[in-house]
Structure 1
Amino acid sequence: MKFILQENKEEFEFKSEKKNFDIRFNRIAFIFFIFFLISIIYCIHLTHLGSRDLNSNISKNYGSFNKIQRANILDRNNHFLAKTVNSIDIGINPTEAIDKKKLLLNLKYIFPDKDFELINSKISKNKFFWFEKKISEENYEKIMMLGDKSIKPHENLTRVYPQKNLFSHIIGQIDDDNQGISGLEKSLDLDLKKSDKSIKLTVDKDIQFLIREELVKFNKIFKTKGSASILMNINNGEVLSIISLPDFDPNQRQNITDVNYINRATKGVYELGSVFKTFTLAAALNEKIIEPNTQFKNLEKSITCGKNKISEYDKKIPSNLTAEEILIRSGNIGSVRIGQAIGIEKYKKFLNDLDLINSIKFDIEEMGEPISFNWGKCKLATTSYGHGITTTILQLTSAYSTIANGGYKVNPTLIKKEKYTRGKRILDENVSTNLVTILRKIVTTKEGTATLANVEGYEVAGKTGTAEKILEGGYSRKKINTFASIFPASNPKYSLVVMLDEPKTNSEYVYDYRDGSGIKYKGTPFNTAGWTSVEVVGQIIEKIGPILATKYTEVN
């Protein structure tokens, strides 16, 4: 009996020990469970905060972003000129900060280079402010991990211009609300927004680069106020290059108010001088009033019209000249006589047909309008040699294209099209052929004013124009020097116009004649187009000629 009681006691004691162990184990498990549950709740809270800021806020406040788009703009060879990318801006609303001091410390850790005295003052004002524009992906992840609901991400559409200054005047800019404010960004605003299909232009990035380099170089050489150039396909009006200097970088989103940044190629309106003499001769030939070899005898050295005296710029010009010699030598008096033979109505109509003295439509809105005037006998006389009449560089380039392409009106365009419709014919083909032949002689003969543009192999033809700049109430000694060229003369394909705004002579510049003589001439003897703009065109054609010859062999 005693043995049994011991066994029961041992059994009792054993069971008692097991129960104590279970109690201790359950307490530990319970505590672990509580900590685990708290951790889960905390993690869920963090995840909620993060996802709410990252997704919910964007979705709630900026849900329309997916509807915002802007098509890319390409050059004719599919190089990006304007490209849309997504970015995120970070704003802070201090009134929603969990702990402002802690927030500030965390921000300092992520963005050590920022001015936190300024940021602290902004936080103290308890007003929303933008903290970081276009935040990097790495910093975006870091700042969102803070889990502070005062941090407000804003998904943005960002417009990038990979070519920087190269196409600034024609591409233009957008504002922060995705609205086009200049150039094609403005004129094509709706088209760019409603489709994600890229818009292809007629311009060539490589040619644009080479021409701009030459203009920049000669702006320094001749100390110009600015310059402009346009290269156009004379048969379909495609603009392969259009440049105005000074230009700007559209990536910087600058609000440019300096009028010197005007688009001189399309918006600027200028008296361009003797380049208009080509149109005077063209009108007379087209009306069959004269022939290229028609003689003009006993031409005066000066004539008077009203209170104005019209003189020859070069006293050495002979008194007896043919019609074509008048253009080759750029005679003022001879051009007046040709204009008088045409008459006001016919000459006015011809200039209108060429779109020289009326406003025209183009793919960008930055277009100048020629200054209107009242026609009369004296106005006919002065306009015949390019005095007292204005136009834009774009209109001049288009008119020279019409002169050279057989007489078909050209509608300039920056937008690449699959098919082009030929314009109305306003000039007889034989007149066009004769004019190009005469323009070629201006470059090849010693009497011509553009011999510096005689680049071997490219048969450059063209006409110079030197004009005094208009001032309120009169004229200044400041010049506009222009050369309107066509090439190749035997089969015209391109028109290239270069205008220099207020060039100066350069005593150190060395001219290298392209006639094979090896003659070099140091110093600019006269501030005329023949010594400035012509030299620029010659240098440009040497650079772009090989590209045009190899890349663009089509006739259309």
Structure 2
Amino acid sequence: MNDKKNNVFLEEYENEFSYKKSKTNLNIEFNRIAFIFFIFLVISIIYSIQLLHLGSLKIQNEIKPLITKKNYRADIIDRNGNYLVKTVSSIDVGINPIEVIDKKKLLINLQLIFPNKNYNEISKKLKKNKYFYLEKKITADNYEKIMMLGDKSIKSEEKLTRVYPQKNLFSHIIGQIDDDNNGISGLEKSFDKKLKQIEEPLQLTVDTDIQFLIREELIKFHSIFRSKGSAAILMNVNNGEIISMVSYPDFDLNKRETVSDIDFINRATKGVYELGSVFKTFTVAAGLEEGLIKTDTEFSNLEKRLKCGKNIISEYDKKIPPDLTVEQILIRSGNIGAVRIGQKLEIEKLKLFLEKIGVLSKIDFDIEEVGEPIPFRWGKCKLATVSFGHGITTTPLQLAKGYAIIANGGFEIKPSLIKKKLEDNQNPKRIIKEGVSKQINEILRKIVTTKEGTAGLANIKGYDVGGKTGTAEKPIAGGYTRKAKVNTFASIFPTSKPKYVMIVLLDEPKTSEDYIYKYKNKSGSYKGTPFNTAGWTSVEVAGKIIQKIGPILATKYIEN
């Protein structure tokens, strides 16, 4: 009995002991879990506060509503709706040195985020104790990293900025803005007020694809002919819409750099040049307009040299025969023949014609960067030289306008970069007699197709190209230099029903010993540039451009 009682007691005791031990373990584990949960809660709260700090973008920066009437600028698109200019928000990060607690520590942290910066310069700026920008248009990743430093000296500013997706492609057309959101060149300047008022994008007439292809050819031949610069304009002869306008060299608009080098001038609109024999087309057209000549009118016994005052006018090609019709004078680019036509016209009639087609005075255009032809005093000798394109200046844009008017049936047009409504181009005004265009266009085609013509390299199959070459020596103090030339080709196509005028200008090109020319109408090739003339330089460039853009023009612009 006693043993039984003891056993029972011990069993009960052991059970009670075991129970108490288990209860103590549960309490300890529960306290640990509660503590860990508390720690995670605190971390979560801190992290949430930090996210709110980063998301608000207002810590230390009282940022006002981003888009306001003061800083708004409309986007700019091409004729097909592709963005050329886009307004987007960006963040600039700066440093106020006065608020820096530990400059050495800050520099080390910045080097981890921006390893490629010049920290000698940053260190100098920190010592000057003046606010400075560390990084403009900072990436989201780097912005998060730098704000995580928690340094009160680091300031962020959210801004609207202009982004140029096409970089260099439209630099001379679009132009630039300053830090105060005001246009300072190109369309950004001339349409500054409108861009701040309109809500829809400003649509241009230019085609991004064609602009790209033309620029690529200019860059390629810039290297081949080692020219100082070049320009090309492609324009619709019927409504003046500029489909492409390239001037090279150009610049990246996104870099917002001050461009002061004169080599970066917009040669297409601002460059004022003597363009040479491309003016002979105007002389012949003026003679036909006045009824003083016909295309088959013959000029006999033309001199090889003609003295005018102290100067001698001579033929560039000694093989030109003495007897030439008006058509042959233009095809073979005869200087003396052009002088004789000019003398028939006399000063007033030739001057009036040049004024009508818009090559003598400053052109009214969509951008302000336009050149003004150099004024001169008319006289007998000046009449003679102007007749074949010597001693008279204009811009490539005005040359394009003149050729467009002659090619389109004689109707006045205004070159434009801004896409207009269809009805705005109705009822054009005729300024040249009907029939003159047809006669000139046929001659321009023969300049490309005949053996005597100077533009055979532009005879691209299927495009019915016509045009006139111009090789002009550059004027210098006291005369002209043969070492520096301006080579130009003014073309129209198709000549059977003109739709486009294209000007290609090379500024101071040089001959190439290695370039291989491929014949257009027969098999074979020719290595090396034989002469530094437009026929061997600008015409070759124009031919290559037409080969590239022709299929696009044929498919995109069948109806308009």
TM-score interval w.r.t. the shorter chain? Answer: 0.7 to 0.9
**Counterparts in 2 of 1:47-446, with a 5 A limit?**
50=53, 54-55=57-58, 57-59=60-62, 66-67=68-69, 68-97=71-100, 107=110, 110-111=113-114, 114-116=117-119, 118-419=121-422, 420-421=424-425, 422-446=427-451
Distance in structure 1 (CA, Å) of the matches to 2:537 and 2:47: 74
Distance in structure 2 (CA, Å) of the matches to 1:106 and 1:511: 59
Q: Which residue of 1 aligns with 2:548?
A: 543
**Structure 1 pair 118/455, CA: closer, same or farther in 2 (3 Å)?**
closer
**Counterparts in 2 of 1:452-491, with a 5 A limit?**
452-477=457-482, 478-491=484-497
Distance in structure 2 (CA, Å) of the matches to 1:325 and 1:48: 80
Distance in structure 2 (CA, Å) of the matches to 1:493 and 1:449: 22
Distance in structure 2 (CA, Å) of the matches to 1:357 and 1:329: 25
Give the AA of the match of 2:318: K
Compare 103-112 and 403-412 and name the one that shifted more: 103-112
Give the AA of the match of 1:450: A
Q: Residue deviations 1:461-514, cap 9 Å, x none?
A: 111111101112211111111110010111110001111111112222222111
Distance in structure 2 (CA, Å) of the matches to 1:251 and 1:335: 48
**Structure 1 pair 129/302, CA: closer, same or farther in 2 (3 Å)?**
same
Distance in structure 2 (CA, Å) of the matches to 1:48 and 1:250: 35
What is the identity percentage for the equivalent residue pairs of Structure 1 and Structure 2?
A: 64
Structure 1 residue 142 displacement after superposition: 3.6
Are the equivalent residues in 2 in contact too, given 1:53–1:144 (CA < 8 A)? no
**Structure 1 pair 509/55, CA: closer, same or farther in 2 (3 Å)?**
same
Q: Residue deviations 1:358-397, cap 9 Å, x none?
A: 0011111110000000011111111000000000000001
Q: Which secondary structure does the structure 2 equivalent of 1:456 belong to?
A: coil
Structure 1 residue 120 displacement after superposition: 4.4
Are the equivalent residues in 1 in contact too, given 2:66–2:159 (CA < 8 A)? no
Are the equivalent residues in 2 in contact too, given 1:411–1:423 (CA < 8 A)? no
**Structure 1 pair 59/492, CA: closer, same or farther in 2 (3 Å)?**
same
TM-score after normalising by structure 2: 0.87
**Structure 1 pair 522/155, CA: closer, same or farther in 2 (3 Å)?**
same
Q: Which runs of 5+ in 1 are unaligned?
A: 1-27
Q: Which secondary structure does the structure 1 equivalent of 2:555 belong to?
A: helix
**Structure 1 pair 110/290, CA: closer, same or farther in 2 (3 Å)?**
closer
Q: Residue deviations 1:243-270, cap 9 Å, x none?
A: 1111111111221211111111110000
**Structure 1 pair 467/111, CA: closer, same or farther in 2 (3 Å)?**
closer
Are the equivalent residues in 1 in contact too, given 2:518–2:525 (CA < 8 A)? yes
Q: Which secondary structure does the structure 2 equivalent of 1:511 belong to?
A: strand
**Structure 1 pair 143/347, CA: closer, same or farther in 2 (3 Å)?**
same
Distance in structure 2 (CA, Å) of the matches to 1:101 and 1:332: 76
- Counterpart pick for 1:552 among 543, 554, 557: 557
Q: Which residue of 2 aligns with 1:501?
A: 507
Distance in structure 2 (CA, Å) of the matches to 1:188 and 1:209: 24
Are the equivalent residues in 1 in contact too, given 2:54–2:144 (CA < 8 A)? no
Structure 1 residue 548 displacement after superposition: 0.7
Distance in structure 2 (CA, Å) of the matches to 1:397 and 1:172: 22
Structure 1 residue 57 displacement after superposition: 4.8
Distance in structure 2 (CA, Å) of the matches to 1:463 and 1:255: 37
Give the AA of the match of 2:495: A
Q: Which runs of 5+ in 2 are unaligned?
A: 1-30
Are the equivalent residues in 2 in contact too, given 1:164–1:251 (CA < 8 A)? yes
Structure 1's consecutive aligned runs of 4 or more residues displaced over 6 angstroms after TM superposition are 42-49
Distance in structure 2 (CA, Å) of the matches to 1:119 and 1:503: 45
**Structure 1 pair 214/113, CA: closer, same or farther in 2 (3 Å)?**
closer
Distance in structure 1 (CA, Å) of the matches to 2:528 and 2:466: 25
Distance in structure 1 (CA, Å) of the matches to 2:378 and 2:80: 46
**Structure 1 pair 59/299, CA: closer, same or farther in 2 (3 Å)?**
same
Q: Which residue of 1 aligns with 2:498?
A: 492
Pairwise CA RMSD: 2.6
Give the AA of the match of 1:197: E
**Structure 1 pair 434/302, CA: closer, same or farther in 2 (3 Å)?**
same
Distance in structure 2 (CA, Å) of the matches to 1:190 and 1:297: 60
Q: Which secondary structure does the structure 2 equivalent of 1:180 belong to?
A: coil
Distance in structure 2 (CA, Å) of the matches to 1:121 and 1:319: 77
Structure 1 residue 107 displacement after superposition: 4.4
Structure 1 residue 423 displacement after superposition: 3.9
Are the equivalent residues in 2 in contact too, given 1:53–1:152 (CA < 8 A)? no
Compare 112-121 and 47-56 and name the one that shifted more: 47-56
Give the AA of the match of 1:202: T
Structure 1 residue 144 displacement after superposition: 3.2
Distance in structure 2 (CA, Å) of the matches to 1:166 and 1:297: 50
Are the equivalent residues in 1 in contact too, given 2:66–2:158 (CA < 8 A)? no
Are the equivalent residues in 1 in contact too, given 2:511–2:531 (CA < 8 A)? yes
Are the equivalent residues in 2 in contact too, given 1:53–1:153 (CA < 8 A)? no
Q: Residue deviations 1:409-450, cap 9 Å, x none?
A: 121001111123354211112111111011111111111111
Give the AA of the match of 1:511: Y
Distance in structure 1 (CA, Å) of the matches to 2:375 and 2:226: 31
Structure 1 residue 75 displacement after superposition: 1.1
Compare 107-116 and 299-308 and name the one that shifted more: 107-116
TM-score after normalising by structure 1: 0.87
**Structure 1 pair 126/533, CA: closer, same or farther in 2 (3 Å)?**
closer
Are the equivalent residues in 2 in contact too, given 1:65–1:155 (CA < 8 A)? no
Q: Which secondary structure does the structure 2 equivalent of 1:164 belong to?
A: coil
